[in-house]
Structure 1
């Protein structure tokens, strides 16, 4: 019994599967950058009802959900329909060192922007080193003793 195999049909099936998964993950494209002591996360959500946007944070995971409703009318006939509808969700797991209780969010022109500050504990800081300034001078020199100045404020005596 002979079996027919069409490599082009298999390639078409594979490409359509990849296009479908790319469309699903591309439903909420994002940019993330750091400026100063906070991160800015921008997500494209055109056509989303602002009332359906939900941002939540649990442990180290930020979850963003939004819904785009389908337009429908009794006299509407679709010619091309490529924009996905329904509920979209995206989760981001973030590292420690962020002040997740101080996230602020805004939605304008189809873009959701989250500002995530760096926590005070994670910010770099300079630690001041204190020192006592008592400097003793060695008056005179005895035989077999040398005075070596290792820094402007410190003298060491080496016997030898």
Structure 2
């Protein structure tokens, strides 16, 4: 198998390395994610192929979720690299969660190179119906006048007037 050298491809690769040398830019481009709402939760799927699940760290601080992961790639001792295009290193990505999520009940799982986070929506942020109580003003007036009649029947003035 003959390997051909393409100077333009090599220039593109070098430019990409220079432009993504900072950790956050590199992490953001290497940790692609999907985010969607499913029922009463948000679901985040983050691609982390080849990452040791033990190296994944999730932290929540003031409604910011930080995802950290490390990917190592190595060749056998005495090997000579001919191509190395897969990114390696420590990667970090942060997500602002807002105030409508339940930070205490976030769940995480890692399967087939995908980190899946389920972030429940807080009870206070869920839509709800408010019932309207109906008052019958006529019934209240009738009940109020009966109570007034009962009170006045026991008053000394009314009793004296009735005897007269």
Same fold by TM-score greater than 0.5: yes
Structure 1 unaligned segments of length 5 or more: list them. Answer: 1-11, 137-160
**Structure ranking higher in helix proportion:** 2
- Report SS of the residue matched to 1:26: helix
Partner Cα separation in structure 2 for residue 46 and residue 18 of structure 1: 20
Task: Kindly indicate whether structure 1 or structure 2 has the higher relative contact order, using CA contacts under 8 Å at least 6 residues apart.
Answer: 2
Q: Once the 2 structures are TM-superposed, how far is the Cα of residue 75 of structure 1 from its aligned partner?
A: 2.7
Partner Cα separation in structure 2 for residue 120 and residue 61 of structure 1: 19
Partner Cα separation in structure 1 for residue 49 and residue 117 of structure 2: 16
TM-score under structure 1 length normalisation: 0.70
TM-score under structure 2 length normalisation: 0.69
Q: Once the 2 structures are TM-superposed, how far is the Cα of residue 103 of structure 1 from its aligned partner?
A: 0.2
Partner Cα separation in structure 2 for residue 126 and residue 60 of structure 1: 27
Pairing partner for 1:92 from 79, 90, 95: 95
Partner Cα separation in structure 1 for residue 131 and residue 18 of structure 2: 57
Point out the structure with max Rg over C-alpha.
2
Count of residues in Structure 1 that have an aligned counterpart in Structure 2: 124
Equivalent residue runs for 1:110-129 within 5 Å: 110-129=113-132
